[in-house]
Amino acid sequence: MSPSPEISPAVTAALDCLATGQTPERLTLRDAVRALLAHLAATAPGRSVEVRIPPYGAIQCVAGPTHTRGTPPNLVETDPVTFLLLAAGRVEWVTAVADGRIRASGIRSDISSLFPIV
């Protein structure tokens, strides 16, 4: 699956590694996660949901009520590999939530409609 034009080459490299059963290099994984987070923020602008992909980044997205301090009421958190697989459509949102790879809390935290990204 080739990425859309605005997605960085790091995304392609990381997804290719995952497709062959390898773990992407740390810097490639970091760059891929950050590119996908930037794309997600541009696709769903707003500040009502915080998406965290530790240790590489976090964004706020989705229009609606915003928060300014502390832990946001609508939070999505996952690991970098799950985020890449979700972005590529290689894992379903409901499956990843059910098996604990995605932790989502708050009434606006179901952002499944934003995936896949590439």
pTM of the model: 0.90
The CATH number of domain 9-108 is 3.30.450.20: no
Q: What's the pLDDT score for residue 4? A: 52
Residues 6+ apart with CB under 8 A from 30: 56, 80
CA distance linking residue 54 with residue 118, whole number of Å? 21
Helix (H) or strand (E) holding 77, with range, is: strand 75-78
pLDDT, residue 5, reads: 42
DSSP-H helix ranges across the chain: 9-19, 26-43, 80-87, 93-98
State residue 6's pLDDT score.
Answer: 61
Would you give per-residue pLDDT tens digits along the chain (118 residues)?
A: 344 546 789 999 999 999 999 999 999 999 999 999 999 999 999 999 999 999 999 999 999 887 667 777 899 999 999 999 999 999 999 999 999 999 999 999 999 999 999 8
Q: Are 53 and 33 in contact (CB under 8 A)?
A: yes
- What is the structure's pLDDT at 3? 43
